[in-house]
Structures are given as C-alpha cells and as structure tokens.
Amino acid sequence: MILKNFFYICITAIVLSSCNSNLDYEGKAIFRYNEPSGISTLDPAFSKEQSIIWAVNQIFNGLVQMDNELNVEPSIAKSWQISEDGLIYTFNLKQDVFFHTNDIFENGTRAVVAKDFKFSFERLIASKEATPGAWVFQKVSSFEATNDTTFKIVLKEPFTPFLGLLTMKYCSVVPKEIVEKLGDQFGRNPIGTGPFKMKLWVDNEKLVLLKNELYFEKENGTQLPYLDAIAISFIPDEQSAFLEFSKGKMDFISGLDAGYKDELLKADGTLQTAYESRLTLNTLPYLNTEYLGINMQSKHPALQNLKFRQALNYAINKEEMVKYLRNNIGTAAQAGMVPNGLPGFSKQTDYGYSFNSNTAKQLLLESEINLKTIPTLDIVTTANYRDLCEYVQNAWQKVGIPVNVNVVPSSHLRELKANGEADIFRASWIADYPDSENYLSMFYTNNFTPNGPNYTFFSDSTFDNNYQEVRRNVNEQIRLTLSVSCDSLVMYNAPVIPLFYDQAIRFYHNSVKNLEGNALNLLELKKVKKL
C-alpha cells in the first residue's frame, strides 16, 4: 500500500508540473488534453455537455457500451435478453467489477451488484435530483434487482432504441453509500468503476485522473488501461491551448477552431506539410447535423409560405460552404436531417435540396411574396457560427431576399428557441443515441418546446403516425422505410434547412497510439498507448 501511494504521489507531481516544464516523465504514460469550457461536475447523472461526458466516460461504466461501429456490446452486463413483446430487458451482470477504492466502503471497495443499478437509475429520475438525463427512462415502468447478478427493466411500451439509450453516460452505475454520504459533493468526488479514478481537481486549472488498478476489462489478456494517468487542463483561450499542443505539452486537440484551422489544414482538408511528420489527423463520421431552424408559428408572412421555405433551401451552395468555411471537413447536407452514418440516411436524388439558384428564383416568383416589402429576415446565431450564417445571408441576398444576421450569446439563443421567439435560428443536433428516431423526435407534435426538442413547431399527422411506429416497431426494415418516409416529409415541408453533416476531427501527436472513436465522438482512452 505504501508503494502504491508513493506511485500515485509521483504521478500527480509529474502531471502538475506538465504545464510548466518539459520534464521527462520517467516512463509514465500520461495523456494530456484541454477543456476550454471547464468541467462543472463529474456526476454522470448530470453529464449533459461533451466536456463532462468525456471525463465521466473515463471514470464510470454502465450495463452496456457502444463499439466503434455503433453496436451495443457488454460492459458491466455480460449478456441480456429482451422479451418477445419488447417490454422486459433482463441483464446478467459480471461478478468481477469493483468500485474505486474509498474509505467510506467497509473494506475499501466492493463488487457491483444489481441493486446498485436500481439505485442509480431511480436516482436519475427522482424529482428532487432534477437531472437532465431523467428523460432516458420516461418509458420505464419499473427496475428490479432479482438477485445480485440479475437486473430487470420493464417498459411501459415497446421502444426499439432503448438498448442504445442505456449506453449514455447518464446510465452509469454509482455506489449508494458514497452518494448518500457525499450528497451534492459526489460530483466533485466521483467514485465509479471506470478505467481511471479521480486524483486531483483544481478549479480553473486542471483535473488529474489515475489508472484504476482494479479495472475489469482486458485486451488480449492484458488488463486495461495502458495509460498511467490523464491530465485535463482548463485553458479558456483556444489559441493558447493550440500553442501548448504545438509545443508538445498536450497530446490531443479536437474540433476545428477558426483560429488554427488554416495553420493545421490545407484547403482540401489534409494536414499542412509542416505537421505531416509530427501529427496524426483523424476524421470520423459524426452524428451531428448542422442546420437552420424555421419557426413554423412565426408571424413573418414569408415563413408561412411553403414555396418560400423551399426556395431558401435551394439558394444555398452547401458544397461550396463546406469547402471554404470548413476546409472540406463535413459533408454538404443534400438529403434530410438524419445524418450519414445512420440507417435512416438516404441518398435518393429526389430527397432534399441541392443548390439551384434558378429553381430558388422560380419558387420565389411562384410564392407571390413581394421581396421588396416583406420585413427583413433575422438569422439568430452565436459568434462561433457567424461566418456560416453570413455565407447564408449572402446566398439569400443574391436571389433578392432581405436578411440580417443577429449574433447573440448562446444562453440567449437557447432562450429564444425555447420560447419560440426566433424566426430563423442556427442549431445543431448531435445524436443522443445512434438511431434515426432521435432526429425524427425533433418534429413530433407532442415534442413542442419547452416540453421537447421540437423547436420549429412543425406538426403533421402523417408524420406523427409514422414516427410512433418507428418508435415501437421491432422490424428493422419497416423502421428504415418509415424513417426515410418521415425524413422526406420533413424536407418537403422545409421547417429546417440542413447545412452539413459534421465530421469529428482530431489531431494528436504520433506518440499516441490506438486513439479510436465512433460516430458519437466519445473520447475513449482505456486502450490508448503512449510511446
């Protein structure tokens, strides 16, 4: 125990010095990255933002997890059965999964049992907690811990994507005695079962996670993880963080910030020559559709006109937009809202909108909207997407549509969307789980904001009927057909203007190996090695 504590002290000291020196880490494998927005909590019940999800993923496990191909695979559950009626999910738990060591446990740690999941899930939906993940279990009737290794979930009605929902970090297992002892402080002192455990958290500076020596997963007989520690810094300025990365003081950056994208990437989306020998560029399909939403209850007269909304779609050269504003990172959204990478995605030529300014002008004539007298359209966006919206503004002005770009703080944009006060707004929909149903839920009548994600107030009875069948039907071919039908119906009515299907883009030093990912853009570090 003394030697182990000494090792942890040494690792922590090394990590703490990493931002201020070029010390040799004495053979210890430490993965370093930056979270500019910081991390507010490490409680999985509140893991709504990507910054939290990435960190929580290192500390916690659930019943199941997603592989790189978006297939559900075992985690703490070694197997499961689903009843023929789709209502009862029975999970058989592994017996060698232990919580991180903590003095609150009678013996320093203990094995995970079925009642831990019952507690964790009931805590998630408890009204007093008011957790953002409570919606995951809105179709659940009950949780049952039959014995230590058998856990059952009973649904109110069949919901085919349910197993995918259980891969979300909200559904992580937490220990009852620790949560009850720490109360609101559990998010600052998390205890899970994951490959790493928290060692140090300094507000506005860094978070240090150390290797969990008790972790249950192995790769080819070797216990995971391979890394000794993870060091997360909280540098708010992206340019400063990039400078640290370029100096080799960080191992990894994610995303395409305007401040450094041209420094790293050529116009065709490949690495600049100066970085080819030093860095690895990794792009992955990302279940994220960037779009403009149109308020179907807007009092703006033009937005109530179908042909006008269709003209807005045809007027934008999305391929050019992706080329010049995104360095070809992403794919022009010529189909619907369901992005590339999901079964509901369709490449049909009669589906969606491709750039055609002549068609746009013709539809504007047919709409009988007087472009000289209508009020100016407002596109509401945040500063990060000003260039995207100004591109759209220019495209619409070319066909005679008066339009203004209104840049507001993200909090204000969320408020305008929730209250139905934005006529046109820029937004993105990142999949909560890998099923086309998640994207279609944005257009279901019963999901009008603020009670759901329908920010456009689109409503159509045919769509609603087909959508409900997508939710409950277990036949994948039928679900696929109905999903495509729903998505095409939305595109015809044009309450949204899909701009592009995103790609996750990652840059990391060549010393990092086995950094993989999937279309949910989860940061998975348990199999990562550093040379």
Could you tell me which residue, 430 or 60, shows the higher pLDDT? 60
- Average pLDDT of the segment spanning 10-34: 60
Cβ neighbours, 10 Å, residue 480: 17
Exposed, middle or buried by CB within 10 Å (0-12, 13-18, 19+), for 71? Answer: exposed
* CATH classification at residue 41: 3.40.190.10
> Are 356 and 494 contained in the same domain?
yes
In b/e form, how buried is each residue of 404-415, taking b as 16+ CB within 10 angstroms?
A: ebbbbeeeebee
DSSP reduced 3-state for 234: coil
φ and ψ at 437, to 5 degrees? Answer: -55, -35
Whether residue 159 is contained in a domain is answered as: yes
The answer to whether residues 394 and 379 touch, using CB atoms and an 8 Å cutoff, is: no
* pLDDT of amino acid 346: 66
Rounded distance, CA 168 to CA 48, Å? Answer: 10
Worst-scoring range by mean pLDDT, 90-94, 360-364, 451-455? 451-455
Could you tell me which residue, 177 or 13, shows the higher pLDDT? 177
Confidence band of 260 (pLDDT split at 50, 70, 90): confident
Whether residue 224 is contained in a domain is answered as: yes
- Give residue-wise pLDDT tens across range 166-220: 999 999 999 999 999 999 999 999 999 999 999 999 998 999 999 999 999 999 9
> Are 308 and 398 contained in the same domain?
yes
Whether residue 237 is contained in a domain is answered as: yes
Average pLDDT score, the chain: 91
How many structural domains is the chain composed of? 3
Rounded distance, CA 472 to CA 470, Å? Answer: 6
**Percentage of residues of the chain with pLDDT beyond 70:** 93
> Are 404 and 322 contained in the same domain?
yes
* pLDDT of amino acid 492: 96
In b/e form, how buried is each residue of 484-514, taking b as 16+ CB within 10 angstroms?
A: bbbbbbbbebbbbbbbbbbbbbbbbbeebee
> Are 290 and 436 contained in the same domain?
yes
Whether residue 276 is contained in a domain is answered as: no
> Are 328 and 461 contained in the same domain?
yes
Whether the pLDDT of residue 437 is over 90: the answer is yes
- Give residue-wise pLDDT tens across range 280-329: 999 888 899 999 999 999 999 999 999 999 999 999 999 999 999 988 88
> Are 149 and 39 contained in the same domain?
no
Whether the pLDDT of residue 8 is over 90: the answer is no
* CATH classification at residue 159: 3.90.76.10
Q: Which of 173, 190, 207 is the last residue of a domain?
A: 190
Rounded distance, CA 182 to CA 175, Å? Answer: 11
What is the Cα Rg of the chain in Å? 25
Whether residue 278 is contained in a domain is answered as: no
Whether residue 470 is contained in a domain is answered as: yes
- Give residue-wise pLDDT tens across range 325-353: 988 889 999 999 998 778 767 666 578 89
Whether the pLDDT of residue 162 is over 80: the answer is yes
Q: Which of 190, 222, 240 is the last residue of a domain?
A: 190
> Are 305 and 326 contained in the same domain?
yes
Whether residue 144 is contained in a domain is answered as: yes
Rounded distance, CA 514 to CA 250, Å? Answer: 17
* CATH classification at residue 464: 3.10.105.10
The answer to whether residues 287 and 343 touch, using CB atoms and an 8 Å cutoff, is: no
- Give residue-wise pLDDT tens across range 453-480: 999 999 999 999 999 999 888 888 999 9
- Give residue-wise pLDDT tens across range 224-236: 999 999 999 999 9
Whether the pLDDT of residue 12 is over 50: the answer is no
Q: Which of 140, 155, 190 is the last residue of a domain?
A: 190
The answer to whether residues 171 and 136 touch, using CB atoms and an 8 Å cutoff, is: yes
* pLDDT of amino acid 37: 84
β 206-211/196-202 pair status: antiparallel
> Are 470 and 498 contained in the same domain?
yes
> Are 291 and 414 contained in the same domain?
yes
Domain extent for 212 = 1-50+194-249
DSSP per position, 474-491: --HHHHHHHHHHHHHHHH
> Are 69 and 133 contained in the same domain?
yes
> Are 81 and 182 contained in the same domain?
yes
Rounded distance, CA 385 to CA 72, Å? Answer: 34
Whether the pLDDT of residue 20 is over 80: the answer is no
Whether residue 160 is contained in a domain is answered as: yes
> Are 119 and 222 contained in the same domain?
no
